[in-house]
Structure 1
Amino acid sequence: MEFVFGHYYFIRASWGARPETPEALAARFLKNIDLLSAIDPLLALWLSGVNGPKKLEAIRDRYAQIVAARISKDDWGEPEPIYGYSFGAITGGHPCPLSYALRIHAGGYIEGDDFQNAAEFATNSTCIPDPAAISYRIFQAALLAIVEAWQPTDCFARPTGLIDLSPDTGDHFREAWMQYLSAPLAARITPPQTAVIDRFPDGSLLMSATTDTFDIANPAHLAVARDIGAAMAPLNELPWPSGHKAD
């Protein structure tokens, strides 16, 4: 597998307007951290804080205060809760190629602004990821942990290099290594037979291009990722939740 410097692997979950208090967001975030920590020793130690990294366990009891301090602000420094809160954490105890970040923007509730909230889990973008850090086992479990904690509309995993191989159409739903769709969206598509399909009791769906680490140099991986993207084309035509085709 060929890795390119500056390319990293990431998971991104998205959802629309959902006003939430700092206390509710902190509870979701800490649940997400706990679920991630149980996946692998690489994810066992998390650092966070407004004024510099601290062990998350040391500030857990006051994490809602940290979230509250990260409220969106206007050009004059005044709070704008309608735009939500931005916060996150990074892993500790491992070198750059084996490290991750969890970044959250949530609590926004702008009327008509679709997919304004997001959770992103990613390897470190400043170094080439160690193959051990980007296994299917870790990334699938991390994706499902994010889904459980944040209840998004959709959630995908891909390497940034996959984006570079396709023209930028502005569509939300595109090629992916893994693509989760909530039940309302899953009901609108026919998953490709080439993909690995996981269906869940609530009607949601996970499509995977491969159960190996996704390799942009592997034609078989790319072919299924494109099949996944093609299967979701009808979703890009919806006025909601994507909004990209709305007039």
Structure 2
Amino acid sequence: MTILSESRSHPETYYAGAYWGPRRESPEACAQRAAAFLNMLAECGPLLANWNKIPKPRGKGRKTPLMPPDLPTLTEAFRRGVNREPGGPAFEQLGLTVSAYNDGPPKEMVFVDMTCGSYSQHSSANVCVLSLPSKGESAEQMLTASMLTDVTRSMALAWEPDWAVAMSHSHRDLQDAEGEAGIWLGWVTYLSSHLGTVPPLPTPVRVEQIADKGTLIILTPERFTVANPEHIALARRVRELLAQAGLMRTAGANPPE
């Protein structure tokens, strides 16, 4: 109940994330996936049409535009994005990371962190996380069921993850507090077909097949919020049905946001 009361005085913040297990991929392969993802994001709306690489370390270096995607530039960015200790060897098994920001207003910017190519059996590091604005016109454009469905679909097609979500941090924290390990259920959730078959779900939930890759589950047409007890009750019921079908567990712990 603490989360519900806090959400009334502080606006919920949202993000979208895609997660997948070990998959060894070259910088070239990661760049191809990133290019496809950025192009699909650009089709979602003007706010997601312009991206600049965030240099390593952050805050240093010149601005590097990533749109339209240039494969050699992205390939080199992923090659340089290998995990390493300062001055030490590269840990290629932990994946390759590229981060970017859009050209939106300063307080309404969107950030994306893309890590792929990790093949460590002890890490869930393959992840693409898109931060979302919480206020202003940008938030009004982004925080709709149709927009987040498009974003999550783009993640599913480009990265071919095990699962993906678009949700509020408060809803994620509520599930963690209730001891729901494994996959988070978001406002919009994508489940790969290899996880199993999605069972019939109650209204107003909408289900959409993504080619032969998996299924999108959209809980509500209006903005999902933990301040709405009907939304929380619906999410718990849907999660229960998905769990009964064996769809809400992962091999490891919950991934990073």
**TM-score, normalised on structure 2?**
0.81
Any idea what SS the aligned residue of 2:67 has? helix
The answer to whether structure 1 residue 141 and structure 2 residue 159 are counterparts is: no
Q: Tell me whether 1:227 sits opposite 2:232 in the alignment.
A: no
What is the RMSD computed on CA atoms of the aligned residues? 2.7
Matched residue SS, 1:130 = helix
1:85 aligns with 2:91: no
User: Greater shift after overlay, 137-146 or 204-213?
Assistant: 204-213
1:36 and 2:41 matched: yes
**Compared CA separation, residues 74 and 93, structure 1 to 2 (3 A):** closer
SS at match of 1:38: helix
Match of 2:52 in 1: 47
| Pairwise CA distance, 1:52 | 4.4
Misfit runs of 4+, over 4 Å: none
Please report how far the alpha carbon of residue 20 of structure 1 lies from its aligned counterpart in structure 2 after TM superposition: 0.8
Look up the equivalent residue of 1:107 and give its one-letter code.
G
Q: Which residue of 2 aligns with 1:178?
A: 188
Q: List runs of 5+ in structure 1 lacking aligned partners.
A: none
Give the % identical residues: 22
Worse-superposed segment, 73-82 or 56-65: 56-65
Within 5 Å, give how 1:9-28 maps onto structure 2.
Answer: 9-28=14-33
- 1:86-125 alignment runs, 5 A limit: 86-97=97-108, 99-111=109-121, 113=122, 115-124=124-133
Q: Is 1:169 matched up with 2:179?
A: yes
CA distance in 2, matches of 1:237, 1:147: 17
Aligned length in residues: 238
Per the alignment, residue 80 of structure 2 pairs with 69
When the two structures are superposed, what TM-score results if normalisation uses the length of structure 1? Answer: 0.84
Residue 96 of structure 2 aligns with an amino acid whose one-letter code is Y
Please, which moves more after superposition, 11-20 or 163-172?
163-172
TM-aligned CA distance change 1:114 to 1:171, over 3 Å: farther
3-state secondary structure, aligned to 2:97: strand
Please give the alpha-carbon distance, in whole angstroms, between the structure 2 residues aligned to 1:40 and 1:87. Answer: 22
